[in-house]
Structure 1
Amino acid sequence: MTVDETPWNAFVAGDNLDVLPTLAPGSIDLVYIDPPYNTGNDFAYRDDIRGDESLSRHEAWVAMMRPRLEAARVVLAATGAIFVSIDDHEAAHLRLLMDEVYGEDNLLAQVVVNLNPKGRQLGKGFATSHEYLLAYARDARRCVLDASTSDTVDERDFPLVDAEGRRFRHLPLRNTNKKFNPATARTLHFPVWGDPVTGTVRTAPFEGAVEVLPVFGDGTPAVWRWSRPRIDERPDDLVCRTINGALGERVDVFQRDWLHRDTPGGRRKKLRTIWMAEEVGSTDTAVAELKEILGHVFESPKPTGLLLRILQTMPSDARVLDFFAGSGTTGHAVALANAADGGSRTCLSVNSTEPTRVGSNARLAGYATVADITRARLRAVAERVGGGFVDLTPSR
């Protein structure tokens, strides 16, 4: 990294409610936070509600979160998005709060994340094996988030291979959704001509061809997924075949759907709303990641795989903010993502100076505050992965 380049990771120790107003409005593309889960223990961020016994546990938590989410909305770009991790204790309250602050029309997804595949075995009741991830856009109409990934594309779904070794599969050219039919998509119901012997498909008659109209399996009229001009542009990506349908033998047209591994970015697949531990990591793998760098100094960190998946939904130059930075997973993932794809993402991590527990592994390892853990991890990541690190904490 040259002197003129912006470090991938920056850090501020302090109350996030003090730090957020210092950031320029619209200066952040992606926010990820993993706030306190309100499991019954006191949390560090009490603000002016400290000592207000009239508030229930849930009300106190919401009162703590509201101004922080409102401040985060101000610094989020119009094209940006925010992801919030939460568990069952406050999932319902957080959903309502996010609807209020960001607008229910800007909800992108409520993802179930399988962070504990074995399930929590302590206590009574079910063995909980999941948490939630709420994703909201600043403005869903302008958001640049791409809810897809190349990680879940399986080559086995593309069983055919052409003479050049490129893998593909056949997809019906007709639209299989009955909502789309000659009444609702009139211009896409037209004949094409195909030769089931050679496979050739054209929009005009040719020798050896038969007329093919789009129909559903029951013989009712359907429509094509491609327009005439698109068929004329890409005739070699279509093939005519004789198939055995429910009503007997018929001629149909199929698209050669290519795997295209060699294209920039590779083929992508829409993200599901259940993310399994084998895809994004688990609490156990997260503990192991942190232990390898700093030792066992944080009880429930998030795995970098979870953050890497979130980062994949945004451009590779995204400006990222995590104002409940915890062990520093978000900054770690930003460095890993940049190193992997040559991106120029930057991350600002903010964490409180909450004291570590007396007698805890963190305290015994010399970390007096949680912020000390975040800072140490990001420094270690800069040394191991690259990208640089800057501590922006104001000197006292």
Structure 2
Amino acid sequence: MAAREDNVFIEGDNLEVLPTLEPGSVDLIYTDPPYNTGNDFAYADSFRSDGGGRASRHEAWVAMMRPRLVAMRDVLADTGALFISIDDNEAAYLRLLLDEVFGEANFLAQVVVNLNPKGRQLGGGFATSHEYLFAYARDAKQCVLDASSPDTVNADDFPLLTDDGRAFRHLPLRNTNKKFNPVTSPTLHFPVYGDPLTGAVATTCFDGAQEVWPVFGDGRPAVWRWSRPRIDERPDDLVCREINGRNGARVDVFQRDWLHRDGGRRKKLTTIWLSEEIGSTDTAVAELKGLIGHVFESPKPTGLVRRILATMPPDAVVLDPFAGSGTTGHAVALANAADAGTRRCISINSGEPTRPGSNAANAGFATVADITRARLAAVLERHGGS
């Protein structure tokens, strides 16, 4: 085991290492296990039981993964989450296995990750351009994961400007979801008062004001999104305007939704992540090559892991039980440098020999763990940390 204070790299079989970690001590797991493709990489990526055939290959892979997922679950905090990458070879089996180990109620998302925008051009059939990312909570009711990101906010969505240059947009103060109405939310159905000439809004009548009730576009009664006290607290964030509705001109109330607001703005993450947002296999290869050479065929881009890191608090303890080329540890260092976070990373990788003739073996890396160790050392030298 090589350790530098908070960030730890452990060489060994993760099935043996995981039980040595304190139960509930990890906030976030990201990992990229073998995909069982049968291809030759720097490491073994083919599992097969004695029966032979495709079914036996799946069975062997599931048998390998099940106890490791159980061990991962046990080290996760009740507030924590697991993200795990996979491709079409084992995606269906992994989903069922995760439901079994973590529980269907703790499923959070199945994300399509566009890591190869050009698609794989070798062989027949479709040019596959994506993989999958499964997200599960240890306990969905307690999980602190925030499925949003500041990086997905588009400034073009805020086309209006104040005199001092602050960008904003108008959102209806009325709740547009028809599940919320005077029957289901009676305390939010009340009149407000607004002057479309000055834009002023209040909960009590004033000179020049008109009474405004929340209504849907078809005229049916609706409710506001804000309570009376909140309207009284934030009148400057509201504006009264005359609009052309379905039944002619009417007065309505809108919220000024600011692009830059206190606490920062975040936008919910979609379940399709594009390579231009999080990087691609090509950019990941370039990242690794810039540190220790082209010694791993399909590393993950740090942008992918940094997006995952951004869903959890900046002091998270992060674990990668299949550390591979060391992308997770690299991403943690970059994230901490960017936001002054105090994330800590535990990386585990086996001492499995690299495949003879592979780029890694030719570069002098005897084991897969040697690759991980070399990258993490290079990251430490370049970006600092412990």
Q: For this structure pair, what is the TM-score category when the shorter chain's length is used for normalisation? A: over 0.9
Q: 3-state SS of the aligned residue for 1:11?
A: strand
Q: Which runs of 5+ in 1 are unaligned?
A: 389-396
Q: 3-state SS of the aligned residue for 1:80?
A: strand
1:6-28 C-alpha deviation (Å, 9 max, x unpaired): 74531111111010011010110
Q: 3-state SS of the aligned residue for 1:151?
A: helix
Number of residue pairs matched by the alignment: 381
Segments of 4+ moved more than 2 angstroms: 5-9, 40-47, 49-55
> What's the Cα RMSD here?
1.8
Distance 1:135 1:387, change over 3 A: same
Alpha-carbon offset, residue 164 of structure 1: 2.8
TM (normalized to structure 1)? Answer: 0.93
Aligned to 2:78: 78
1:344-387 C-alpha deviation (Å, 9 max, x unpaired): 11111111111111111111111011110000000000000110
1:61-101 C-alpha deviation (Å, 9 max, x unpaired): 10000000000111101100000000011111100000010
Confirm or deny: 8 A CA contact 2:38 2:46 kept in the other structure.
no
Looking at structure 2, the residues matched to 361 and 6 of structure 1 have their Cα atoms a distance apart, in angstroms, of 28
**AA at the equivalent of 1:374:** T
**AA at the equivalent of 1:305:** G
Looking at structure 2, the residues matched to 315 and 7 of structure 1 have their Cα atoms a distance apart, in angstroms, of 20
Looking at structure 1, the residues matched to 50 and 285 of structure 2 have their Cα atoms a distance apart, in angstroms, of 34
Distance 1:280 1:7, change over 3 A: farther
TM (normalized to structure 2)? Answer: 0.95
Q: Which runs of 5+ in 2 are unaligned?
A: none
Looking at structure 1, the residues matched to 271 and 221 of structure 2 have their Cα atoms a distance apart, in angstroms, of 34
Looking at structure 2, the residues matched to 114 and 57 of structure 1 have their Cα atoms a distance apart, in angstroms, of 26
Looking at structure 2, the residues matched to 237 and 79 of structure 1 have their Cα atoms a distance apart, in angstroms, of 34
The 5-angstrom pairing of residues 1-396 of structure 1 reads 7=5, 9-41=7-39, 44=44, 51=50, 56-260=56-260, 263-264=262-263, 266-388=264-386
Alpha-carbon offset, residue 165 of structure 1: 2.1
Confirm or deny: 8 A CA contact 2:36 2:46 kept in the other structure.
no
Confirm or deny: 8 A CA contact 2:191 2:214 kept in the other structure.
yes
Looking at structure 2, the residues matched to 328 and 40 of structure 1 have their Cα atoms a distance apart, in angstroms, of 22
Q: 3-state SS of the aligned residue for 1:256?
A: strand
Alpha-carbon offset, residue 46 of structure 1: 9.4
Confirm or deny: 8 A CA contact 1:111 1:273 kept in the other structure.
yes
Looking at structure 2, the residues matched to 17 and 311 of structure 1 have their Cα atoms a distance apart, in angstroms, of 24
Looking at structure 2, the residues matched to 387 and 280 of structure 1 have their Cα atoms a distance apart, in angstroms, of 23
1:182-234 C-alpha deviation (Å, 9 max, x unpaired): 12211111111111111111111111111101111111111111111111111
Aligned to 1:394: none
Q: For structure 1, which segment, 309-318 or 173-182, has the greater mean C-alpha deviation from structure 2 after superposition?
A: 173-182
Looking at structure 2, the residues matched to 258 and 104 of structure 1 have their Cα atoms a distance apart, in angstroms, of 37
**AA at the equivalent of 1:239:** V
**AA at the equivalent of 1:358:** P
Looking at structure 2, the residues matched to 21 and 50 of structure 1 have their Cα atoms a distance apart, in angstroms, of 26
Q: 3-state SS of the aligned residue for 2:123?
A: coil
Confirm or deny: 8 A CA contact 1:8 1:335 kept in the other structure.
no
Identity across aligned pairs (percent)? 75
